[in-house]
Structure 1
Amino acid sequence: MKWIYRLLSLIAALFFLAPIVWMLVVSIKKEGMKIVTLVDWFTPPYSFAVYEEVLSTTKLSNWTLNSFMVAVCVTILTVAVAALASFALSKIPFRYRSFIFFFVLAGLLIPGEATVIPLYQVAKDMDILNSYQGLILPALASPVAVIVLKSFFDGIPNELIESVQIDGGGTWRIFTSIMLPLTRPALASMAILTFIGSWNNFLWPFLSVTDDNLFTLPMGIPTLMNQYSEDYVKPMVINTIASIPIILLFLVFERQIVKGISLSGIKG
């Protein structure tokens, strides 16, 4: 039976890899090549000239840098805020703790689209529209991250915390020396999922940014696609450049992604 599962896994892997391989191959084709059959997509000659043209004549590299910087900042700050909030809700006794947790839990019931208008008004009043702050700050509140990390913190025995307190350790030492190391898989999982979510985010950047120098990839790519509606190679080059960071991220952190998702029970 094992070989059947392996065969099915291989077929599924090839099924999901086929579009990526096709995108990579088409992106290095020469422009104007005549395509008659499927085989023509994969036959030489190949060239990276279109990559040079796209990077030199568009702002794609700038948008890629914007997306990367915003995603990194959102990831670091979101995980830090969620970890601190989760630790407080899990291990620090205070009044109305349960009410605050259910208040955070209620955030999952509200669609993100329903908060766009008030969020835009708050950003406008703070004068952070058309800025990196406007792209980063509204994305920091993550009820999912708080709930997932709290479930991990709840699973850590209180005896470990008491042992640190007996040795004279304070709350900050408990958090940094006990909580964070023991919840590393969950932190890595939430960091990667947050990065991917920020990288692919379109709605909020679309509403909050009008300066094309501040565009992220999900905003900038559609403007380029309209220019190359009759071409195949340039759109594939653009999508390849936009996809490479996420593909590399998955290849590097594959084990952390799988382990974190399996432990936290996240589906998606």
Structure 2
Amino acid sequence: MNSAAVIRTVRLVLAFAVAVSFLIPVIWMLFVSVKTEGTPIKTLIDWFLPPYTFINYANVLSKTPMLRWMWNSLFIAVVKTVLTVLFTSLAAFAVSKIRFSYKNAIFLFFIAGLMIPGEATIIPLYAVVKDMDLLDSYMGIILPGIAAPLGVVILKSFFDGVPKEVIESAEMDGCGLFRIYSTIVVPLAKPALASIAIFTFIGSWNNFLWPYLSITSEELFTLPVGIPTLLSNYTVDYVTPMTVNAIASIPVIVTFMIFEKQIVQGISFTGIKG
């Protein structure tokens, strides 16, 4: 076996070991979630042995607002993703392809936005949303999150690669700016738009701080906000917490399995273009 084959084998073994290390907590969570409450656990292997029951899932779904919180998370994530992709692509198109004064200075503002921690804007953002009377509402959660400087920077770098000749040819044929944007630039930028959409959706689904500060009504809770309140009562049993977390994780796991190719391509794309 030559050195190249040895290196390839070592890489595969390391990759498999890392994958297993990430999967073990998920597998453990799923097994614990179907255990009977109060089952004595004496050894590690007891976590994975029968008896199994799905009554835990039925109890959580029927006796808690989990389905409502899951719907809130899904609705907010989808709307925020659509608006973020729309506005970031429009802003990037303007900075990249439209001639106007102080264009470079405006783009520097977008770059500067990447240097400001999100936590530093929480207090002024809360004050603005409160003055707009949007606290404790869907719009109060969604609107502050659609400003995505990173998306503008990534898309601008991609739009800059669209040949000027293509744009000028379209203008000579009578195409307006919006038609050039929608029929030429956006179709060419599908990989970039997909990567931004994926990471925006995941970020919204997992977001805790802003929904926690801006929501007071339990019926508007998202999953990251609702789950800690649901599990706030002290318990020595692992079954109910693991069942709740399994229900919250299943949609994300299914989404990853469906869009695995796009997610991997998005990570590769942002790694190259960013």
TM over 0.5: yes
The counterpart of 1:99, out of the listed 97, 100, 105, is 105
Letter in 2 for 1:10: F
User: Counterparts of 1:88 and 1:66 in 2: how far apart (Å)?
Assistant: 33
1:239 Cα deviation (Å)? 0.6
Say whether the 8 Å CA contact 1:228–1:234 is kept in structure 2. no
The size of the alignment, in residue pairs, is: 268
Q: Secondary structure at the match of 1:98?
A: helix
Letter paired with 2:47: W
- How far did 1:171 drift? 1.1
Paired-residue identity, % = 58
5+ long unaligned stretches in structure 1 = none
- 1: CA distance between counterparts of 2:147 and 2:62? 37
Question: 2:80 — aligned with what?
Answer: 74
Once the two structures are superposed, residues 13-53 of structure 1 have per-residue CA deviations (whole angstroms, 9 ceiling, x without a partner) of: 11111111111111111111111111101111111100000
Residue equivalent to 1:113: 119
Q: Find the aligned partners of 2:112 and 2:201 in 1 and give their Cα distance.
A: 23
Q: Is 1:165 matched up with 2:171?
A: yes
C-alpha contact 1:228 1:235 (8 A) present in aligned 2: no
C-alpha offsets along residues 214-267 of structure 1, whole Å, 9 cap, x if unaligned?
Answer: 111111111112225312111111111111122122211111122122122279
Cα-to-partner distance string for 1:153-194 (whole Å, 9 max, x where unaligned): 111111221222232222112111111111111111110100
Given that 1:261 and 1:267 are in contact with CA atoms closer than 8 Å, whether structure 2 keeps it comes out as: no
Given candidates 124, 127, 131, the residue that maps to 1:125 is 131
Trace 1:44-55 onto structure 2 (pairs within 5 A): 44-55=50-61
1:7 aligns with 2:10: no
What is residue 140 of structure 1 aligned with on the other side? 146
Corresponding residue for residue 195 of structure 1 = 201
CA gap of 1:154–1:260, structure 2 versus 1, over 3 A, is same
Query: Using the alignment, how far apart are the partners of 2:145 and 2:111 within structure 1?
Result: 17
Corresponding residue for 1:217? 223
2:62 pairs with 1:30? no
Is the deviation greater in 163-172 or in 78-87? 163-172
Bigger mean CA offset, 68-77 vs 238-247: 238-247
Indicate if the aligned counterparts of 2:32 and 2:48 stay in contact, CA closer than 8 A: yes
CA RMSD of aligned residues (A): 1.5
Specify the alignment match of 1:63 in structure 2. Answer: 69
* Secondary structure of the structure 2 residue equivalent to 1:226: coil
Contact between 2:195 and 2:269, CA under 8 Å: does it hold in 1? no
2:157 touches 2:273 (CA, 8 Å); kept in 1?
no
Q: Give the Cα separation in 2 of the matches to 1:167 and 1:267.
A: 31
- The amino acid that maps onto 1:126 is M
Runs of 4+ in 1 over 6 A off after TM superposition: none
Distance (whole Å) between structure 1 residues aligned to residue 188 and residue 181 of structure 2: 10
Q: Of 211, 216, 226, which aligns to 1:205? A: 211
Aligned counterparts of 1:228 and 1:82: Cα–Cα separation in 2: 44
- The CA distance in 1 between the partners of 2:31 and 2:52, in whole Å, is 8
**Matched residue, 1:257:** 263
Residue 247 of structure 1: SS of its match in structure 2?
helix
Q: Equivalent of 2:238, from 232, 236, 244? A: 232
Encode CA deviations 1:54-84: one digit per residue, 9 max, x unaligned.
1111111111110110011111101110000
Is contact 1:108–1:144 with CA below 8 Å preserved after alignment?
yes
Q: What does 1:236-251 correspond to in 2, within 5 Å?
A: 236-251=242-257
Residue of 89, 92, 108 corresponding to 1:86: 92
Contact 2:231-2:241 within 8 A present in 1 as well: yes
Cα separation, 1, equivalents of 2:161 and 2:273: 20
